[in-house]
């Protein structure tokens, strides 16, 4: 499950090239609050089709980070911070985190950001690491 709301900061809080320390802290806080920190820092990589199939066949790991929530009549959705999302879950969550980064940078192109990059790629472009 994921919260699909994209947080847009007030203009004075958005990254403008001069306010990195405060912007960094706000983005980390937002990522943690939504369970997307692993997407931002690259610790949750996009799964391959083979990995997704193998994960489904093997069942869910017992780690607390892989708790699942059953929906009536629908597929089981993993929590946002699950370390083994499906490709579709990963694409959605990373897209949401990427949108939060991109939409909260004034002149994102000037900072080397692409709206189609992963959230981690955007973060690396901003942090240099």
Are 2 and 82 contacting, i.e. CB atoms less than 8 angstroms apart?
no
Residue 89 counted as domain residue:
yes
The pLDDT assigned to 3 comes to: 58
Residue 115 counted as domain residue:
yes
Domain range for 114 = 16-127
The pLDDT assigned to 82 comes to: 84
Residue 90 counted as domain residue:
yes
The pLDDT assigned to 49 comes to: 78
Residue 9 counted as domain residue:
no
Between CA 53 and CA 47 the distance in angstroms is 10
The pLDDT assigned to 100 comes to: 98
The pLDDT assigned to 17 comes to: 96
Answer whether residue 124 shows pLDDT above 70.
Answer: yes
Residue 2 counted as domain residue:
no
Q: pLDDT tens digit string along 63-113?
A: 334 444 444 555 566 788 788 999 999 999 999 999 999 999 999 999 999
The predicted model gives 111-125 an average pLDDT of 98
Are 65 and 82 contacting, i.e. CB atoms less than 8 angstroms apart?
yes
Residue 4 counted as domain residue:
no
Number of folded domains that form the chain: 1
Between CA 71 and CA 43 the distance in angstroms is 27
Residue 67 counted as domain residue:
yes
Strand 68-69 with 77-78, pairing: antiparallel
Residue 91 counted as domain residue:
yes
Q: pLDDT tens digit string along 12-64?
A: 999 999 999 999 999 999 999 999 999 999 999 999 876 545 554 444 443 33
């Amino acid at each position: 499950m994921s919260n699909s709301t994209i947080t847009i900061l007030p203009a004075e809080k958005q990254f403008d090239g001069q306010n990195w320390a405060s912007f960094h802290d706000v983005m980390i806080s937002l990522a943690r609050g939504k369970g997307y920190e692993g997407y931002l820092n690259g610790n949750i990589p996009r799964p391959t089709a083979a990995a997704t199939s193998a994960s489904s066949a093997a069942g869910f790991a017992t780690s607390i980070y892989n708790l699942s929530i059953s929906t009536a009549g629908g597929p089981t959705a993993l929590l946002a911070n699950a370390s083994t999302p499906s490709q579709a879950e990963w694409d959605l969550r990373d897209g949401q985190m990427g949108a939060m980064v991109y939409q909260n940078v004034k002149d994102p192109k000037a900072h080397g950001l692409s709206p189609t990059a992963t959230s981690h790629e955007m973060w690396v472009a901003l942090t240099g690491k």
